[in-house]
Structure 1
Amino acid sequence: MNLKDQITNIFVQIDDFCKEFDTQIKELKQKTLDASKKRRNRTSKMSDSEIITIMIGFHLGAHKTFKHYYQEIVCGYWKDLFPIPLSYNRFVELQHRCFVVFILFLKEKCLGKCTGISFMDSTTLKVCRNQRIHTHKVFKDLAERGKSSMGWFYGFKLHLVCNERGELLSFYLTKGNVDDRNPKHIKKMTRELFGKLFADKGYLSKALWEMLFADGIQLFTKLRKNMKNHIMAMEDKILLRKRAIIETINDELKNHCQVEHTRHRSVNNFIMNILGGLTAYCFFPKKPSLNLKKVNDGQLFLNFA
């Protein structure tokens, strides 16, 4: 399937969801608002489903700048798909209008389901180089300095949870100085999880382990050098070694879907860019996954064929 056919299929799914969403909103307004009062409701030439589809298509392609993608591809090669395009400046202004329906579509239609085996990790989202921190204005009072295994950075953290199929289960965006073991966002991310959760040493915490265990989740992490070893089942050791699956997802999100770049000029567009990247990844035909196989005796094996 080429990109144009994939965009058509994505538009059909989003358009059906937007129609259902609009119907529910209209019913809610009729119940809560006075129908006798007239309110201005100017319609746009481009629907919300078209705007969302265009934003997802950018992260599916190989373009580095959204302006070139919109002017050359959307308004040129895809003119039959979007016959009444907006100007580039107007499109950028209207992006944030679709935030609510966009994030609902991502959570309800795109995220996967927990299978009992989950992987958790965080990745940095730099908004500028370290040399330009003092002169940076777009994310002033929002972004913070943080430190990762790659060194100091200025920006945010994107926390992700996935299953062994490579499907995203939940995500959370925090400032760069927030600890990965923060119980507030961990609680929200693992609300619908169960079974086993594998993470790196950054999530090593007795209090966090006890909190997750009380919710029916068993946390597995590697130990530090000065810690005593403990007994672990062979299948859990194998899965802990395969935790790199979520690091591969982070790499695809940052290098292919471009959720991280330093050209943002608006906080709203920064958020919409992340939503577009996460949704585009969910539509990837091939995702990094583990070929797990269970035999009759109930033991877990990895099929390397």
Structure 2
Amino acid sequence: MTILIAFHQSHYRNFKAFYVQQVSLHWHKEFPRLVSYNRFVEWIPSTLLPLSVYLYSCFGRCSGISLMDSTSVRVCHNRRIQQHRVFANLASRGKTSVDWFFGFKLHLVFNDCGELLNMTLTPGNTDERRPVFKLLRRLFGKVVADKGYISQTLFERLLRECGIQLLTKPRRNMRNRLMPLMDKLLSRKRAIVETIIDQLKNISQIEHSRHRSPLNFLVNLVCGLIAYCHQPKKPSLRLDGFFLPAA
């Protein structure tokens, strides 16, 4: 587990190179019973359950202000969808604001300090609003999301059953409505989630198209999230002094 998480914290982009060039050569004292690379790969699926439990222990605490978004996790290039077999019965085609993809959607919730609060994985064609209630049922306060989460039914249910206020910017074709200044400023800061997702994909490496097993895909995803949780400095809203007390 330590070696897998350390890979996602390193500058390596290939696990075999990391294991052979870094772990085997320089970490032999820390792991005196180190096995060969092929044997280590055979052990990787057995770490999924303990890694998932450890990820849950890395979750932060809800502060009353949360950020929610989803991102695509591609498992192959669009040109190879017809020939893809590893995730043939698990992944599906989905659409982002940029283009189509084949894979999954990763739904994430963070607090104002950039700490992960909850996550779930769904097929790529899943509506963003579908897993929202499950993701937020243990939280409280305000949750800032993008326009893809607009739903009057979802808004009322969250407010009625969980006491959570869902904040979203209105679409262009919707009637404009008044918002408290605090909510309007919070909605403008939602873009910090894009920075977090960019770090998850480009630094923690939660996405690549070289998977040969669904279990290894999940291990890679969980380890990438754990590596992000271990970051000493995370993107945050910096709300100190943001909310002034009422006169």
Q: TM-score under structure 2 normalisation?
A: 0.96
SS at match of 2:20: helix
Q: Which residue in 2 is equivalent to 1:12?
A: none
Q: Which residue in 1 is equivalent to 2:216?
A: 269
SS at match of 1:209: helix
Q: Does 1:55 align with 2:55?
A: no
Q: Which residue in 2 is equivalent to 1:205?
A: 151
CA distance in 1, matches of 2:157, 2:45: 36
Alignment counterpart, residue 50 of structure 2, candidates 92, 101, 111: 101
Instruction: Encode CA deviations 1:24-79: one digit per residue, 9 max, x unaligned.
Output: xxxxxxxxxxxxxxxxxxxxxxxxxxxx1101100001101011101111111111
CA distance in 2, matches of 1:286, 1:178: 32
Instruction: Encode CA deviations 1:246-279: one digit per residue, 9 max, x unaligned.
Output: 1111100001111000011111100000010000
- Residue ranges of structure 2 left out of the alignment (5+ in a row): none
Q: Does 1:224 align with 2:171?
A: yes
- Residue ranges of structure 1 left out of the alignment (5+ in a row): 1-51, 300-305
Aligned CA distance change for structure 1 residues 66 and 296 (closer, same or farther; 3 Å): closer
Task: Tell me the amino acid that sits aligned with residue 254 of structure 1.
Answer: K
Aligned CA distance change for structure 1 residues 151 and 296 (closer, same or farther; 3 Å): closer
How does 1:106-255 map onto structure 2 within 5 Å?
106-108=55-57, 110-182=58-130, 185-214=131-160, 215-255=162-202
Alignment counterpart, residue 78 of structure 1, candidates 4, 15, 27: 27
Q: Which residue in 2 is equivalent to 1:69?
A: 18
Q: TM-score under structure 1 normalisation?
A: 0.78
Q: Which has the higher contact order (CA 8 A, sep 6+)?
A: 2
Runs of 4+ in 1 over 6 A off after TM superposition: none
SS at match of 1:293: coil
Q: Which residue in 2 is equivalent to 1:15?
A: none
Contact 2:73/2:207, CA 8 A, preserved across alignment: yes
Identity of aligned residues (%): 52
Number of aligned residue pairs: give it: 245
How does 1:26-41 map onto structure 2 within 5 Å?
none
Task: Tell me the amino acid that sits aligned with residue 146 of structure 2.
Answer: D
Aligned CA distance change for structure 1 residues 77 and 206 (closer, same or farther; 3 Å): same
Task: Tell me the amino acid that sits aligned with residue 119 of structure 1.
Answer: L
How does 1:269-288 map onto structure 2 within 5 Å?
269-288=216-235
Alpha-carbon distance, 1:294 to partner:
4.0
